[in-house]
Amino acid sequence: MNEMQFLTWVRGPGLDIAVSIFLLGVIWRLLEIYSLGRKKDLAAPRQAAGASGFHTVFRRSMPPAGMGMVKKSPVSYIGGYIFHIGLFFVVFLFAPHIKLINSLIGVSWPGLPSQFIDLMAVVTMAAMVVVLADRINRPVKRYLSNFEDYFTWGVTFLPVLTGWMAVQHLLLPYTTMLALHILSVEILLVVLPFTKLFHAFTLWGSRWYNGQVNGHKGVAV
């Protein structure tokens, strides 16, 4: 298979397979989660100011106040915010990505200049490397980490790296690097529903639910 055939395959059948597995996996995991059911809370509500699902979503998205956690672990908070925000810009505000999304679901929006996206890609990769180094160098984080943590880091990092290299025409011919970029995205789509990366779909819902449950008890979390 030459490079053009490889590119044609990943842009055609490969993408169809990856998207199908991704959608089926997401639907299955969501059904699995929401079909668990919860016992009705018969206790009398004890609502308190700031105790609700909405407040919890907002509060848990910010560093804990008054605990000095940003000072104690700046890489976890600052690096984590930077690379998540950077990923959002790169994935959803890069014109070619918007065109791809439009071709799949018929929705489009304005993109940002490619120079800005290039910068965000570099910043995102740098933040991810720093976060990884911090995980490896801190004994407690290293002890708590397992193969899945490093694997999900890798499948998230590779699409950003290969995409940036394709745009910059680095290392390999553009056609080959573009095909590798698309393949890395497809691998990410396939593994996302079945790994910790699925928090992209459960993060806000789980925070809201915990806030609602604890808010019913008058506990702000």
Cα–Cα distance measured from residue 118 to residue 40, given in angstroms and rounded to the nearest whole number: 50
Which of the four pLDDT bands, split at 50, 70 and 90, describes residue 81?
A: confident
Higher pLDDT, 52 or 163: 163
Which of the four pLDDT bands, split at 50, 70 and 90, describes residue 58?
A: low
The answer, yes or no, to whether residue 52 has pLDDT greater than 80, is no
Interior angle at CA 114, CA 109 and CA 118, nearest 5: 120
> pLDDT digit string (tens) for 26-49?
999 888 877 776 666 655 556 665
What local confidence, expressed as pLDDT, does residue 194 receive?
93
Kindly state the tokens that stand for 158: 């590779």
Smallest CA-to-CA distance from 156 within 127, 136, 133, 117 is with 127
What is the share, in percent, of the chain residues with pLDDT greater than 70? Answer: 75
Which of the four pLDDT bands, split at 50, 70 and 90, describes residue 201?
A: confident
| Burial environment of residue 215 by CB neighbours within 10 A (0 to 12, 13 to 18, 19 or more) | buried
The answer, yes or no, to whether residue 53 has pLDDT greater than 60, is no
Cα–Cα distance measured from residue 2 to residue 184, given in angstroms and rounded to the nearest whole number: 18
Interior angle at CA 121, CA 107 and CA 145, nearest 5: 105
What local confidence, expressed as pLDDT, does residue 7 receive?
87
What local confidence, expressed as pLDDT, does residue 88 receive?
93
What local confidence, expressed as pLDDT, does residue 51 receive?
60
- Phi/psi at 111 (5° precision): -100, 175
pTM: 0.82
The whole-number average pLDDT for the span 79-87 is 89
> pLDDT digit string (tens) for 176-190?
999 999 999 999 999
Instruction: Report the mean per-residue pLDDT for the chain.
Output: 83
**Which residues have a Cβ under 8 Å from the Cβ of 129 and sit 6 or more positions away?**
none
Which of the four pLDDT bands, split at 50, 70 and 90, describes residue 77?
A: confident
> pLDDT digit string (tens) for 8-31?
889 889 999 999 999 999 999 888
The answer, yes or no, to whether residue 2 has pLDDT greater than 70, is yes
Q: Which of 2-6, 23-27, 70-74, 94-98 has the lowest mean pLDDT?
A: 70-74
Angular region, 8: left φ>0, alpha ψ -120 to 50, beta rest: alpha
Tally of CB atoms within 10 A around 185: 23
Architecture of domain 3-36+64-210: Up-down Bundle (1.20)
